[in-house]
Amino acid sequence: MKTVKLERGFSVEMLSKKHVKTISMSDETHDKVLFEGNLGELEELGMVEEVILEIKGANGILRVDLTEEELRKMISASVKKVK
């Protein structure tokens, strides 16, 4: 049976460009894309419509397509690796 890899989207919404440290990308197909910033003090962690992990900071919001069940499985697997 073939395993299907799900692609995950993400977005970073910054309240001001002063909190953005680095944005770097290239037209070359194999080069990396880098976005760095400072979300500030974490204010809230939650799920949006049960399919998006949302991390809110004082300076912005990070959103990743990830269900709560997938997040729990990943955390559980990480804990088992540490033990």
How does residue 47 score in pLDDT terms, banded at 50, 70 and 90? Answer: very high
Geometric angle at alpha carbon 35, from 34 and 38, rounded to 5°: 145
Q: How far apart are CA 34 and CA 71, in angstroms?
A: 24
Tokens of 39: 């979300």
Mean pLDDT of all residues in the chain?
89
Amino acid found at 56? K
pTM: 0.79
Mention every residue, 6+ apart, whose C-beta is less than 8 A from residue 38: 19, 21, 57, 59
> Which pLDDT score, from 0 to 100, does residue 70 have?
92
